[in-house]
Amino acid sequence: MPKSSTTHKEKKTFSLSRQSVRFLETLRKERRSRSISSVLEEIIRQKQQATEMRSISASISGYYDSLTDQQVKDDHAWGQFAETQFPTEE
């Protein structure tokens, strides 16, 4: 499991249901993590990455959705031209 890039930790106290604690303990054992805190760090990191990926995806979709028909045709033409520039496999 990757180590956290954060060297400074902040101690916090949270109240969780017993079911949540059991779930985290099960994950800790499955992942052979040293602590529930490290499991929580991993869950948070995964959630942050998923949020960032959705944001990036939305930005990319927004860009392509904003292209005019002419820009799409131009990009398509450039793509077809670029394909002709690769050496043929024999």
38 within domain boundaries: yes
33 within domain boundaries: yes
86 within domain boundaries: no
26 within domain boundaries: yes
The answer to whether the CB of 59 falls within 8 A of the CB of 66 is no
The answer to whether the CB of 1 falls within 8 A of the CB of 45 is no
12 within domain boundaries: no
Distance CA 57, CA 14 (A): 33
Q: Which helix (H) or strand (E) holds 71?
A: helix 69-83
* Residue range 8-57, pLDDT digits in tens: 889 999 999 999 999 999 999 999 999 999 999 999 999 999 999 999 99
Distance CA 9, CA 40 (A): 13
Q: What is the dihedral of CA 51, 4, 17, 50, to 10 degrees?
A: 10
The boundaries of the domain holding residue 39 are 18-67
5 within domain boundaries: no
**Which pLDDT score, from 0 to 100, does residue 2 have?**
53
* Global model pTM greater than 0.85: no
**Which pLDDT score, from 0 to 100, does residue 4 have?**
53
31 within domain boundaries: yes
**Which pLDDT score, from 0 to 100, does residue 87 have?**
85
Domains in the chain, number: 1
1 within domain boundaries: no
